[in-house]
């Protein structure tokens, strides 16, 4: 199997939508996932998970990369340039993990960010996602920040308590 990484194109939309649904939909049962899922997918009706995620990047330089062999797409990386740093995340389809797809995508995303002038790169991984943490550490990343979150009382639904999300995710 020869893996190739390239920018995503219009012909990739269906498979990328499928991968985004799996990746973002699977966040619901992961520690830290529900908040990230809501942030990236939003709560509006219509569109796909991927279109909602990409809508957050419309004003930022970004690149969607695919890893494929022949006509089959195995994984995707999304890289973007924010105010302070470049960032990226990687998702590899379940049946294609541990085959070098993740490192190849991570490397390509980092190369694009470096070529774009980024002097610092952040990578995203959820708490407890050991596979992603291992991938990123092998790519030279070190955990430098732990972000903690709680709900604000004025924005919670009736009956919810501040910190309930964190307690549920523990």
Residue spans of the domains in the chain: they are: 4-145
pLDDT at 167: 45
pLDDT at 169: 44
Give how far Cα 125 sits from Cα of 31, 134, 141, 145, 146, Å: 11, 10, 11, 11, 11
Strands 62-69 and 72-81: antiparallel
pLDDT at 30: 67
CA distance 31 to 59: 29
CA distance 65 to 33: 23
pLDDT at 120: 92
Q: What angle do CA 51, 126, 73 make, to 5 degrees?
A: 45
pTM for this one?
A: 0.75
Taking alpha carbons only, the member of 52, 64, 56 closest to residue 24 is: 52
Taking alpha carbons only, the member of 106, 98, 123, 91 closest to residue 22 is: 91
**Residue for token digits 């190369």?**
111
Low-confidence ranges of the chain (pLDDT < 70): 25-28, 30-49, 52, 55-56, 149, 153-170
Say which CATH architecture domain 4-145 belongs to: 3-Layer(aba) Sandwich (3.40)
Q: At what angle are helices 33-41 and 13-25 packed, to 10 degrees?
A: 140
Taking alpha carbons only, the member of 151, 153, 146, 144 closest to residue 166 is: 151
pLDDT at 155: 57
Strands across the sheet containing 86-92:
4-7, 62-69, 72-81, 86-92, 121-123
pLDDT at 25: 67
């Amino acid at each position: 199997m020869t893996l190739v990484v390239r920018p995503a194109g219009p012909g990739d939309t269906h498979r990328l939508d499928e991968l985004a649904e799996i990746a973002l939909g699977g966040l619901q049962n992961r520690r830290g996932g529900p908040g990230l899922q809501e942030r990236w997918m939003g709560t509006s009706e219509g569109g796909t998970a991927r279109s909602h995620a990409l809508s957050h990047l419309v004003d930022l330089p970004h690149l969607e990369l695919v890893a494929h062999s022949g006509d089959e797409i195995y994984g995707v990386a999304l890289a973007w340039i924010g105010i302070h740093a470049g960032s990226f995340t990687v998702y590899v389809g379940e049946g294609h993990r541990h085959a070098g797809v993740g490192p190849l995508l991570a490397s390509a995303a980092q190369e694009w960010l470096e070529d774009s002038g980024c002097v610092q790169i952040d990578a995203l991984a959820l708490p407890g996602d050991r596979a992603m943490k291992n991938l990123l550490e092998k790519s030279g990343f070190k955990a430098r920040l732990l972000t903690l979150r709680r709900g604000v009382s004025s924005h919670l639904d009736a009956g919810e308590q501040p910190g309930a999300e964190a307690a549920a995710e523990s």
